[in-house]
Amino acid sequence: MITQKIIKLAYIVLKTLNLKPIIVISLVLAFSLSCSLKNDNIANDIKWARYFDEIGVPNINLKNHVILVLNSVECAPAIEELLWWDKKSENVNVKMVIISKYQNEFQSVLQTNKLTIESYRDSIGEIYNHDLISTTPAKVFINSEGKIHSIRPIGEELNTQALKEFLQKPD
């Protein structure tokens, strides 16, 4: 409502000052600006969905998800945290991406650690080309609107706290 009133007021001022060309230019500028903002603000889950598409997982819905990203060899605390997420995955939407050149290597990570989380393989580190994370192991919280809530390292903090924050303040 307030925005509409401001726009109306601005229109009246500009009209009385006979500044039609400026109105046109302002509108064009505002439109182009909103477009560019829209592009920058492209829903993060769409960026991630594009990435998943590239690694061979089309049409994925990532809203309200936790995505775990790791290499096939990670430190012991990170593996411990994965086991924690494995248990949580019954009640929370968790997906895992393992950057692993070979299928055997990928299978071996799941088998050795007895992980049952829905997992996908990124064979060439495509995630870095999409600029989605800066390093591994990382966990990404995507809220119900598809926006990134937070990106945190795996194995360096209390997970319960991170998950609580995510669930309490999904925005």
Partner 1 sequence: MVSLLKKLLPFNFNKGSSFIFILIIFIGCGSEQKQPQENIENFELIHLNSFSITPPDSVIFGRFSGRAVVNNSGDRIAFYDQVKQNMIVSDTLGNVIYIIGSKGRGPDEFENIFSYNFDEHDNLIVYDTNLQLFKIFDKNGEYLKSFSAEGERREHYIVDSILYPSEGYIYMGAIDINLVPFRDDTKPFWESYLLVKYDYEGNLLGHLAQYDNDLSKRRYYSYTPVFYLDGTKNRLFSTHMHYYGIQEFDLEQDSLISKFGAISDNYNIVNESNVDYIKLMNKEKRREFSTKQTYSMSLHASDEYIFVELQNLQLSWYNAFEKTFKDYYLTVYDRETKQFLSEISLPYMLTTMHNNTVFLIENDNPENYQIGIYSVENIKS
Write out the residues near partner 1 by the rule CB under 8 A: 71-73, 76, 99-102, 104-105, 107-109, 111-113, 123-125, 128-129, 134-135
Choice between 107 and 159, CB closer to partner 1: 107
- Closest CB 137 distance from partner 1, rounded Å: 13
The CA–CA distances, whole Å, from 73 to 76, 104, 111, 112 equal 9, 13, 13, 12
Choice between 31 and 102, CB closer to partner 1: 102
- Closest CB 20 distance from partner 1, rounded Å: 48
**Nearest by Cα to 151 from 126, 124, 131:** 131
Length of the chain: 171
Choice between 36 and 111, CB closer to partner 1: 111
Choice between 135 and 168, CB closer to partner 1: 135
Tokens of 4: 């509409």
Tell me, rounded to whole angstroms, the distance of Cα 151 from its chain centroid: 8
Q: What is the DSSP string of 75-92?
A: -HHHHHHHHHHHHHTTTS
- Closest CB 102 distance from partner 1, rounded Å: 5
